[in-house]
């Protein structure tokens, strides 16, 4: 029996993690009374009584919690941080088991795991296999577009959409300094910082991340089948990944995988025009947040 504490269980990600773990065999969920949730001593005491702490906190609070855990030395619990506070920090294992061959074992034995961001999950899932295979040069100039449901935007955005005050669709982070960019560049294998344009739509959850490519500007001038083959090889045997390739006109909507921890990789190409677009579809609250945290937790518990 493993005891888990979700620090920040009242937030969107924390609530979903708690829901996913509620009926999990061999897991007990610990809690703090609401009045004690910001009390460092109460936290420290509970941290010492559990096997794993999952941080679902704002970045600064997550840093404070991680410091408390570090100060506990060999009595410290293992930790998964679902915030963006430690995604490029030294000493933390990036919590994307499918990143490279064998990385799931690195997650399984890690003391400190940092959950990927939702936009970053899709971007890295599309880019890392191509840079590792040499199909996409590491110094290639890359553009990434992403649309997410509003549930990933925090309490203010959720309230704005659910009370009808928000627009149907909006681009944001147009200063090109989105907080997911450092992890995207580090984990994608790119040496040139991509241009990233995120957006949010008037739907609660779901996500599409896309990357356009000029095929004749890539080494070997690959065809659709060549690109798909890289993904087929990289994600072979990965239960949460499915790969599709098509030269047909198609449409993708973002909500198809809601409620799952699955992710689809789509390769669309116009062979005549020698252009392609790569798309990752998944649930921004599933594989992009709570689902990924639970997947990492199960690896850490040897399940």
Q: Which of 52, 82, 118, 292 is catalytic?
A: 118
Same domain, 134 and 108: no
- What secondary structure does DSSP assign to 131-155, as a single string? HHHTSS-TT---EEEEEEEGGGGHH
Q: Is the pLDDT of residue 36 over 90?
A: no
Same domain, 258 and 158: yes
Banded model confidence at residue 72, pLDDT cuts 50, 70, 90: very high
Range of the domain at 143: 118-286
> Does the annotation mark 56 as catalytic?
no
pTM, entire model: 0.94
Range of lowest pLDDT (60-69, 203-212, 239-248): 239-248
Instruction: Give the CATH number, domain containing residue 172.
Output: 3.30.360.10
The pLDDT score that the predictor gives to residue 35 is 87
- pLDDT tens column, 239-297: 999 999 987 878 999 999 999 999 999 999 999 999 999 999 999 999 999 999 999 99
How many folded domains does the chain comprise?
A: 2
Instruction: Give the CATH number, domain containing residue 49.
Output: 3.40.50.720
- Helix or strand run (H / E) with residue 94: strand 93-94
Same domain, 79 and 179: no
Range of lowest pLDDT (104-118, 149-163, 173-187, 274-288): 149-163
What sign has the CA pseudo-torsion 120, 121, 123, 124?
A: positive
Q: Is the pLDDT of residue 48 over 90?
A: yes
Same domain, 235 and 247: yes
Same domain, 225 and 151: yes
User: What span, in angstroms and rounded, lies between the C-alpha atoms of 169 and 100?
Assistant: 34
Same domain, 101 and 210: no
Same domain, 274 and 136: yes
Same domain, 65 and 151: no
User: What span, in angstroms and rounded, lies between the C-alpha atoms of 286 and 187?
Assistant: 20
């Amino acid at each position: 029996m493993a005891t888990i504490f979700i620090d920040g269980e009242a937030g969107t990600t924390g609530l979903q993690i708690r829901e996913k773990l509620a009926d999990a065999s061999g897991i007990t969920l610990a809690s703090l009374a609401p009045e004690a949730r910001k009390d460092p001593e109460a936290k420290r005491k509970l941290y010492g009584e559990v096997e794993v702490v999952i941080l679902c906190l704002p970045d600064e609070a997550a840093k404070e919690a991680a410091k408390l855990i570090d100060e506990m030395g060999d009595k410290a619990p293992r930790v998964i941080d679902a915030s963006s506070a430690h995604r490029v920090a030294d000493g933390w294992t990036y919590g994307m088991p499918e990143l490279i061959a064998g990385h799931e074992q690195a997650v399984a034995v890690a003391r400190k795991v940092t959950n990927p961001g939702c936009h970053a999950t899709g971007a890295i899932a599309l880019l890392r296999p191509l840079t590792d295979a040499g199909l996409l040069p590491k110094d290639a100039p890359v553009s990434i577009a992403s649309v997410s449901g509003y549930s990933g935007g925090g309490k203010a955005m959720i309230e704005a959409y659910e009370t009808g005050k928000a627009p149907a669709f909006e681009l944001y982070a147009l200063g090109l300094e989105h907080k997911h960019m450092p992890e995207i560049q580090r984990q994608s294998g790119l040496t040139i910082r991509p241009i990233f344009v995120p957006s949010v739509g008037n739907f609660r959850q779901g996500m599409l991340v896309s990357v356009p490519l000029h095929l004749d500007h890539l080494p070997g001038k690959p065809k659709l089948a060549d690109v798909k083959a890289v993904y087929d090889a990289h994600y072979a045997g990965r239960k949460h990944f499915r790969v599709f390739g098509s030269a047909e006109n198609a449409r993708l909507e973002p909500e198809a995988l809601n409620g799952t921890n699955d992710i689809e990789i789509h390769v669309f190409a116009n062979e005549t025009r020698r252009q392609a677009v790569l798309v990752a579809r998944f649930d921004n609250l599933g594989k992009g947040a709570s689902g990924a945290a639970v997947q990492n937790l199960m690896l850490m518990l040897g399940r």
